[in-house]
């Protein structure tokens, strides 16, 4: 079992005027306390009002004027502050991004971090955001699949030939390649049937939304069924989850059930349990000690 920490890059914690200092403190604490990963998330732009139902609870939980830091820029900065912890995006909305430029940015982070990047993507849900970006909402799934295939080709092929609807390359040279081989691990979010099929085809892991261990187990079983159908070892696909816990003790109590449900990474959202950065670090320290993480400082 591995453990990851949510960085204060979105939602209420990102409103703090001392955000840069707080982000540094959380990242360095995660590195020192023995956590395996840090996570960030993405929205590029919000409408004035959100009418699209939030797929994980009915209503989007944050005001539209809350800051959301850019994942590649943030992870590059965090990479320079840390030595051991892996750098995860949970998640970037792949149809929003031009895939060649994104592949370059992510390969650069992997190179500069010494091979610590974990790529987390999903197809997105916020129709108004797609409209603001000029990306057809109904194309989000097909764009996600094509962009994933194109990025994998860019990261693995010496001369890249790719024939897609949106990406067309002929013997293109793309460097640097990532340090991790064949490429940085790709983790995929979402819980629709299409997302589960995408995990089975492309994913090294699935990024689960907060949910109970029983709900998680049902979704993991569905993903493993899809993986078996395409000839993959279902247990080769990792699962990251928080179990919907609201405190250190509740999360610790849920770890055995999460592990039985298939979780391989447990996410610790300490910043959202806390009243500020100092308390979040105290909670991270408490969880690390009680979970038996080996300190690195």
State residue 61's pLDDT score.
87
pTM passes above 0.75: yes
Per 3-state DSSP, the chain is made up of helix, strand and coil in percentages (nearest 5) of 45, 15, 35
The yes-or-no verdict on residue 181 having pLDDT over 80 is yes
Instruction: Give me the mean pLDDT over the 210-230 stretch.
Output: 94
68-93 core/surface letters (b: 16 or more CB in 10 A; e: else) = bbebbebbbbbbeebeebbbbbbbbb
Report the pLDDT averaged over residues 6-10: 95
Distance CA 131, CA 206 (A): 27
What average pLDDT does the segment 139-162 reach? 98
Partners of 54 in beta bridges: 58
Task: Report the top-level CATH class of 2-291.
Answer: alpha beta
Report residue 49's pLDDT band, with 50, 70 and 90 as the boundaries. Answer: very high
Cα 38 versus chain centre, distance: 9
H or E stretch covering 238? strand 238-241
């Amino acid at each position: 079992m591995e453990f990851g920490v949510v960085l204060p890059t979105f939602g209420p914690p990102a409103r703090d005027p001392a955000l840069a200092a707080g982000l540094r403190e959380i990242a360095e604490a995660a590195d020192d306390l023995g956590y395996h990963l840090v996570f960030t998330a993405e929205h590029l732009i919000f409408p004035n009002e959100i009418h699209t139902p939030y797929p994980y609870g009915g209503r989007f939980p944050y005001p539209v004027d809350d800051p959301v830091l850019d994942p590649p820029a943030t992870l590059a900065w965090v990479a320079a502050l840390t030595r051991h912890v892996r750098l995860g995006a949970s998640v970037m909305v792949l149809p929003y991004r031009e895939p060649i430029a994104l592949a370059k940015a992510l390969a650069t982070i992997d190179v500069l971090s010494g091979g610590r990047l974990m790529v987390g993507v999903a197809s997105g849900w916020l129709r108004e955001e797609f409209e603001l970006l000029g990306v057809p909402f109904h194309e989000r799934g097909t764009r996600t699949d094509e962009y994933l295939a194109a990025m994998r080709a860019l990261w693995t092929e010496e001369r890249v030939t790719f024939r897609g609807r949106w990406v067309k390359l002929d013997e293109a040279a793309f460097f640097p390649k990532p340090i991790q081989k064949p490429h940085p691990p790709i983790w995929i979010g979402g819980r629709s049937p299409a997302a589960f099929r995408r995990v089975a085809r492309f994913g090294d892991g699935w990024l689960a939304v907060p949910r109970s261990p029983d709900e998680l187990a049902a979704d993991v079983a569905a993903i493993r069924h899809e993986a078996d159908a395409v000839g993959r070892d279902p247990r080769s696909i990792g699962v990251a989850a928080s179990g919907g816990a609201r405190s250190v003790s509740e999360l610790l109590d849920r770890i055995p059930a999460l592990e039985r449900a298939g979780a391989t990474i447990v996410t610790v959202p300490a910043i959202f349990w806390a009243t500020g950065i100092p308390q979040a670090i105290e909670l991270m320290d408490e969880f690390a000690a009680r979970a038996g993480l080996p300190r690195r400082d």
